[in-house]
Amino acid sequence: MRMLISVVLFSTFVTLVSTVLQLYLDYRRDIDVIENHFDEIDRGSLGVIATSLWNVDIDQLQTILDGLLRLPDMQALEVTETGEYTSNLSVKAGSKQKKAALFRDYPIFYTSEGVARRIGTLHAEATFSGVYQRLIDAAVVILVSQAIKIFLVALFIVLIFYQMVGRHLSTISQWLSRYDLTEQRPVLALPGKPRTPPDELDGLVFSLNDMTNRLLGAYRALTDANAQMERDIVARFHAEREVVRLNAILEQRVKQRTFELEAANEELAAFAYSVSHDLRAPLRRIEGFGQILVQEHAEHLDEQAVHYLDRMCAGAKDMADMIDSFLKLSRSTRGELAIETLDLSAMAAETVHRLREKTPDREIDVVIEPGLTVEGDRRLLGVVLENLFENAWKYTRKAAHPSITFGADQQDGKVRFHLRDNGTGFDMAHAKRLFSPFVRLHRPEDFEGTGVGLATVQRIIVRHGGRVWADAQVGVGATFYFTCWEKGTNDGQQ
Amino acid sequence: MGSNKVLLVEDNSDDVELMLHAFKSGRIANDVDVVRDGESALDYLMRRGSFAGRDKSEQPALILLDLKLPGIDGLEVLRQIRANPDTKRIPVAILTTSDDEADIIRGYDLGVNSYIRKPVGFTAFTDMVEKLGLYWLVVNIAAPS
Q: What structural domains does chain B harbor?
A: 6-138 (3.40.50.2300)
A81 DSSP β-pair partners: A120
A277 CA: distance to closest CA in chain B (Å): 5
- B99, B101, B121 member nearest A317 (Cβ): B121
Provide the pLDDT confidence category of residue A494 given band limits of 50, 70 and 90.
Answer: very low
Which pLDDT score is estimated for A490?
56
A448-470 pLDDT per residue, tens: 777 888 888 998 999 899 999 99
Q: Give the separation between CA A257 and CA A251, rounded to whole angstroms.
A: 10
Does the pLDDT of residue B1 top 50, yes or no? no
Residue A493 located in a structural domain: no
How much is the average pLDDT of A166-195?
79
CATH number at residue A384: 3.30.565.10
Asked if A192 has any chain B CB less than 8 Å from its own CB, the reply is no
Which pLDDT score is estimated for A453?
86
Does the pLDDT of residue A408 top 80, yes or no? yes
Buried (b) or exposed (e) across A113-133, using 16+ Cβ within 10 A? Answer: eeeeeebbbbbbbbbbebbee
B88-133 pLDDT per residue, tens: 999 999 998 877 888 899 999 999 999 998 888 889 999 999 999 9
Asked if A314 has any chain B CB less than 8 Å from its own CB, the reply is no
Asked if A280 lies within 8 A of B98 by C-beta distance, the reply is: yes
The most confident of the ranges A96-105, A214-223, B16-25 is B16-25
- A278, A288, A327 member nearest B122 (Cβ): A288
Averaged pLDDT score across all residues of chain A: 84
Q: Which residue of B has its CA nearest to A288?
A: B122
Phi, psi of A18 (to 5 degrees): -65, -35
Provide the pLDDT confidence category of residue A87 given band limits of 50, 70 and 90.
Answer: low
Chain A CB contacts of B68 under 8 Å are 277-278
Answer whether A53's CB lies under 8 Å from A111's CB: no
SS3 A319: helix
Does the pLDDT of residue A353 top 90, yes or no? yes
Q: Give the separation between CA A100 and CA A79, rounded to whole angstroms.
A: 16
Which pLDDT score is estimated for A308?
92
A273 CA: distance to closest CA in chain B (Å): 7
Residue A304 located in a structural domain: no
Residue A298 located in a structural domain: no
Asked if B140 has any chain A CB less than 8 Å from its own CB, the reply is no
Q: Give the separation between CA A339 and CA A492, rounded to whole angstroms.
A: 7
Q: Which residue of B has its CA nearest to A296?
A: B25
B85 CA: distance to closest CA in chain A (Å): 31
Asked if B120 lies within 8 A of A290 by C-beta distance, the reply is: no
Q: Which residue of A has its CA nearest to B68?
A: A277
Q: Give the separation between CA A91 and CA A6, rounded to whole angstroms.
A: 60
- B21, B67, B97 member nearest A280 (Cβ): B97
Percent of chain A topping pLDDT 70: 96
Which pLDDT score is estimated for B109?
96
Contacts 24+ apart (CB under 8 A), A99-102: A100/A75, A100/A76, A100/A125, A100/A126, A101/A125, A101/A126, A101/A127, A101/A128, A101/A129, A101/A131, A102/A31, A102/A34, A102/A38, A102/A126, A102/A127, A102/A128
Residue A29 located in a structural domain: yes
Which of A151, A180, A214 finishes a domain?
A: A151
How much is the average pLDDT of A236-261?
90
Asked if A63 has any chain B CB less than 8 Å from its own CB, the reply is no
Asked if B98 has any chain A CB less than 8 Å from its own CB, the reply is yes
Count Cβ–Cβ pairs < 8 Å, chain A vs chain B.
59
Residue A266 located in a structural domain: no
Overall domain count for chain A: 2
Q: Give the separation between CA A243 and CA A249, rounded to whole angstroms.
A: 10
Does the pLDDT of residue A85 top 70, yes or no? no
Choose the weakest-confidence range: A183-187, A420-424, B47-51. A183-187
B5 CA: distance to closest CA in chain A (Å): 24
Asked if B105 has any chain A CB less than 8 Å from its own CB, the reply is no
A264-307 pLDDT per residue, tens: 888 887 887 777 778 888 888 999 999 999 888 988 889 999 99
Residue A380 located in a structural domain: yes
Which of A120, A151, A182 finishes a domain?
A: A151
Mutate to test the interface with A, among B13, B97, B115 (most CBs of A within 10 A): B97
Provide the pLDDT confidence category of residue B19 given band limits of 50, 70 and 90.
Answer: very high
Q: Give the separation between CA A129 and CA A123, rounded to whole angstroms.
A: 19
Which of A116, A132, A151 finishes a domain?
A: A151
Residue A492 located in a structural domain: no
Does the pLDDT of residue A379 top 50, yes or no? yes
Does the pLDDT of residue A491 top 50, yes or no? no
The most confident of the ranges A5-9, A207-211, A271-275, A488-492 is A207-211
Asked if B96 has any chain A CB less than 8 Å from its own CB, the reply is yes
Chain B CB contacts of A284 under 8 Å are 15, 18, 97, 118-120, 122, 125
Answer whether B89's CB lies under 8 Å from B54's CB: no
Provide the pLDDT confidence category of residue A132 given band limits of 50, 70 and 90.
Answer: confident
Which pLDDT score is estimated for A99?
65
Residue A244 located in a structural domain: no
Instruction: Say what the ipTM of the complex is.
Output: 0.84
CATH number at residue A70: 3.30.450
Parallel/antiparallel/unpaired status of strands A403-411 and B114-117: unpaired
Asked if A277 lies within 8 A of B67 by C-beta distance, the reply is: yes
Mutate to test the interface with B, among A274, A275, A287 (most CBs of B within 10 A): A287
* Residue B113 or residue A95, greater confidence: B113
Answer whether A96's CB lies under 8 Å from A125's CB: yes
Provide the pLDDT confidence category of residue B44 given band limits of 50, 70 and 90.
Answer: very high
Which pLDDT score is estimated for A467?
92
- A277, A289, A292 member nearest B97 (Cβ): A277
Asked if A379 has any chain B CB less than 8 Å from its own CB, the reply is no
Percent of chain A topping pLDDT 90: 22
Asked if A281 lies within 8 A of B122 by C-beta distance, the reply is: no
What is the residue range of A127's domain?
2-151
* A400 Rama class: left (phi>0) / alpha (psi -120 to 50) / beta: alpha
Choose the weakest-confidence range: A222-231, A246-255, B85-94, B96-105. B96-105
Buried (b) or exposed (e) across B14-38, using 16+ Cβ within 10 A? Answer: ebbebbbbbbebbebebebbbbbbb
Which pLDDT score is estimated for B41?
93
Query: What Cα–Cα distance (Å) separates residue A212 from each residue in A88, A91, A119, A306, A325?
Result: 99, 93, 97, 113, 88
